[in-house]
Amino acid sequence: MKFSCNKQTLNDAVLNVQRAVSSKSTKPALEGILIKAYNGKLILTGYDLEIGITTSIDAMIYEEGTIVASAKLFSEIIRRMPEEQIQIETDEKLTIYISSGKSDYKIIGIPDNEFPELPTITASEPINIEGKTLKSMIGQTIYAISDKDIKPAHKGSLFDIENKTIKIVSVDGYRLAVRKENIDFSEEKKFIVPGKSLAEVEKLINDNTDKVTITVGSRHIIFLIDNYSIITRLIEDEFMNYKAAIPSAHSTELTVNTRKFINTIDRMSLLLNERIKSPIRCRIDNGFIKTSCNTSLGQAYDEFETEASGEDLEIGFDNKYMMDALKNTDTDEVKIHMNGPLSPIVIMPSEGDSFIFLVLPVRLRNDN
C-alpha cells in the first residue's frame, strides 16, 4: 500500500474514527484503525464490537492495500507531522512508513484479517431527517439517559416513529425527556439506540450537515452523516411505557422565564455539592416562585414573580435534575405543570409540544 494525502484532512478523519476504537482490548486489532487505500479513496474504520465509525477521504493512491495501525500512536504521529502533505506506505512485513517533510516514522502494523468485520444490515426503507433537527433532538434528550441503571433500555434512547412523527425518549428513573418532530416517513418503528452511540452521532453532525439517513436492521442501525457512517448495536430490551408516565391532569400551571428559574436554582446550588445533598424547597404562592435551601453550609432564599394559575403548593426537587431539564429546553419561556407535591413536575414549551420533560419531586421534611 502506498498513498499521499492532506495532513489536516487525515488528522480530522482519524480523530473522528478513533472515537469508536477500543481503549483496552485483549485483541490488538480492536485498538487499531483499519486503513484501506482503494479506488482513489482512503477508507478509515474504527470498531469496538459495539459501535463502528467509517469514513473516506480523497488521497493519491499509488498502490492499493489494507492494514491496521495502532489508533493512538497513528493519531499522535499524524497530528505532529510538520508539512501539509503526508506520505504513507507499507511493506510485506507489515511495517508502516510515515513521512512528511524531513520527519519519518516506521511503526509496526497489524494484519487486516485480524480486524473484525462490521455487521451488515438488510436493506430497509431509510429514514431521512434534517441534520440540525436530529442534533437538537439528541442534545435535548441525552441528558436523561441513565449511566448507572441496571436496566439496559435505560442506557439508551427510544426512537418511536408513528403517524409521521418521530419521538426520541430518554429516562433514568428520576426524570424523563421526550422530544418530537414531524418526519416524512410513513412506517411505524420502535428501537433503542445506546447513549454512547448517540453522543457520537451528535458530535459528527455539524452546521453543514443537510440530512442524516438512518437505516434500521433487526439488531443494528446505521447513521449516514456527510461522509461518515456510524453502525451500532441496538439495545434489545423493553422500554418503559413512557406515555403512561406523563400526568394527564394538573392543578397548578406556571409560565416561567427559563433564564430566571435557572439563575434562581444556580444561587440555591451554592449550598449543595456531592457530599451535601438537600432538595430545593419551592413554594408557589400568589404568583411568586419562592425557593429556599437549608444545608449544613447555611441557608438561601430567593423569589421572583411569574404567571401562575390554579392551586398554590409547596414542592421539593433535586437541583441538578431540574437544572438539566431547564437548560435543555432551548426556549425563553416554559410552561410548568404540577399536580400536588408528589406528582412529577412537567416542563414543556410555552407554545407547541416539541418537548416534554418530567422531573420527579423530592419529598420534603416539615422542617420549615
For residue 3, the model assigns a pLDDT of 97
* Mean pLDDT, residues 189-211 taken together: 96
**Span 232-252, average pLDDT:** 95
Q: Does residue 348 register a pLDDT over 90? A: yes
Q: What pTM value is reported for the model?
A: 0.92
Query: What is the per-residue pLDDT across 144-199, written as a single tens digit (0 to 9) for each?
Result: 998 876 789 999 999 999 999 999 999 998 999 999 999 999 999 999 999 999 99
Q: What's domain 2-114's superfamily in CATH?
A: DNA Polymerase III, subunit A, domain 2 (3.10.150.10)
- Please state which of the four CATH numbers 3.90.190.20, 3.10.150.10, 3.30.70.1880, 3.90.550.10 is assigned to the domain occupying 246-359: 3.10.150.10
CA distances from 72 to 19, 42, 69, 93, 226 (A): 11, 19, 9, 21, 24
Q: In the chain, where does the domain assigned CATH 3.10.150.10 lie?
A: 2-114, 127-241, 246-359
CA distance 289 to 282: 7
β-pair partners for 304 = 289
- Tell me, what DSSP letter sits at residue 118? P
Q: Does the pLDDT of residue 77 top 90, yes or no?
A: yes
pLDDT confidence tier of residue 284, bands split at 50, 70 and 90: very high
Instruction: Tell me: pLDDT of 367 over 70.
Output: no
> Residue 95: pLDDT above 70?
yes
Specify burial of residue 262 (Cβ count, 10 A radius: 0-12, 13-18, 19+).
Answer: middle
pLDDT at 271: 94
Cell numbers given for 352? 407547541
* pLDDT on residue 124: 82
pLDDT tens digits, one per residue of 40-71:
999 999 999 999 999 999 999 999 999 999 99
Q: 103 with 78: CB under 8 angstroms?
A: no
Name the band, by pLDDT with cuts 50, 70 and 90, for residue 277. confident
Give the tens place of pLDDT for each residue, 285-320: 999 999 999 999 999 999 999 999 999 999 999 999
H or E element in which residue 221 lies: strand 220-225
Confidence of residue 368 (pLDDT cuts 50, 70, 90): very low
Measure the CA–CA gap between 52 and 232, rounded to whole angstroms.
6
Domain at 127-241: CATH code:
3.10.150.10
